[in-house]
Amino acid sequence: MKMLFIVGNSRSGTTMLGRVLGNHPQVFTFGELHFFEQQVDAATVSMKAEWPEERCLAMLERLLTSTRDGFFAKVEPKKYRADAMRILASANGRNPVLAYCAFLFSETVSHGKLIPCEQTPRYLFFVQEILDVLPDAVVINIVRDPRDVLLSQKNKWRRRFLGARNIPLTEAIRAWANYHPYTIARLWVAAVRTAMRYVGNPRFISIRYEDLLKQPEETIRSLCSAAGLDFTEKMLDVPQVGSSTGMDKPGQRGIDGSRTGGWRKGGLTDTELAICQRVCGETMDRQGYACEKIAAATWRRWGSMTLFAFKAMLALLLNLRRTRNLRETLRRRLG
């Protein structure tokens, strides 16, 4: 049965696209579940692997908690144990991938829909595993101007104070530590180059964030056609929430075309823009994003790289618990 996965750089519009697809009468969109990498080491993903029953149940309880109570909610012992046992029994074995799929379809059907859609941006680095072990999966990648990604990532830690009250303070600190123009630029290049490997694959669809904002109906119609879905106008009726640079406006509906090109309005220093364009320039050109002349003093760039060393070490420490295999995680993103 069809499954959809939304991937791309963080802060590239994956959540908004998930809301758009979730408005389809057949599609149920999950929040970020982080099954690959956090729950299972993607380097060893296999349909033949078997886990002990208790480990499978613990994994399913984590997924159920994330879906029903929020990603940052703590698992309450036994709260969803009965549902986890029912889902595992329907998976016909203790293979984690089969159990994960059984969970996706179980929750989707419980919401009166048929097609699960999971939007975890980092799955872009596990596309091959998804295509290999899930033959009915369709992966949808979204690309955004790296300078706008930079601006959004710079302000991501502010989300807790712009309407997303469910984000813990520790997560806001982690978001602050994760940001540095060099880090974000390198990750953008790695993500775009990874996506380019799948150009031409009928199960891999790529769209641009800017096209979605400027031509929403045309872009979503094309996406639906490629993914085997019927377009409905209701899909574009999404709340204007999730921005890192402004307050949530849940009462306002529709896709806000003004959110593209925000970096031109300020918020990034010349040093940040210079570093971004220096790292991303060649890849930006291939994606249709033109670099602009930015004058940034050399000493400022070197000063920024000194800060990079500090924040990189802090980010490493704060992200250790979010991966099962740090070496494999770094290889996929930086290799």
Sign of the CA dihedral running 261, 263, 264, 270: negative
Q: How many CB atoms lie within 10 A of CB 163?
A: 16
Look at residue 158 in the predicted model and tell me its pLDDT. Answer: 67
pLDDT in tens, the chain (335 residues): 899 999 999 889 999 999 999 999 999 999 999 998 888 876 678 778 899 999 999 999 999 999 999 888 899 988 999 999 999 999 988 999 999 999 999 999 999 999 999 999 999 999 999 999 999 999 999 999 999 999 988 887 666 555 556 667 777 777 777 788 998 999 999 999 999 999 999 999 999 999 999 999 999 999 999 999 999 999 999 987 655 555 556 667 778 777 788 899 889 999 999 999 999 999 999 999 999 988 765 656 666 777 777 777 777 777 666 676 667 776 777 76
What CATH superfamily classification does 3-26+114-334 receive? Answer: P-loop containing nucleotide triphosphate hydrolases (3.40.50.300)
Number of H helices, E strands in the chain: 13, 7
Q: Are 119 and 32 in contact (CB under 8 A)?
A: yes
State the pLDDT at residue 179: 84
| Cα separations in angstroms, 45 against 95, 132, 157, 195 | 10, 10, 32, 20
Buried/exposed 187-205: b ≥16 CB within 10 Å, e otherwise: bbbbbbebbeebeeeebbb
DSSP E strands: which ranges in the chain? 3-8, 27-30, 115-119, 137-143, 204-208, 239-240, 249-253
Q: State the Cα–Cα distance between residues 123 and 36, nearest whole angstrom.
A: 7
pLDDT tens profile 56-69: 999 999 999 999 99
Tokens found for residue 56? 């499978």
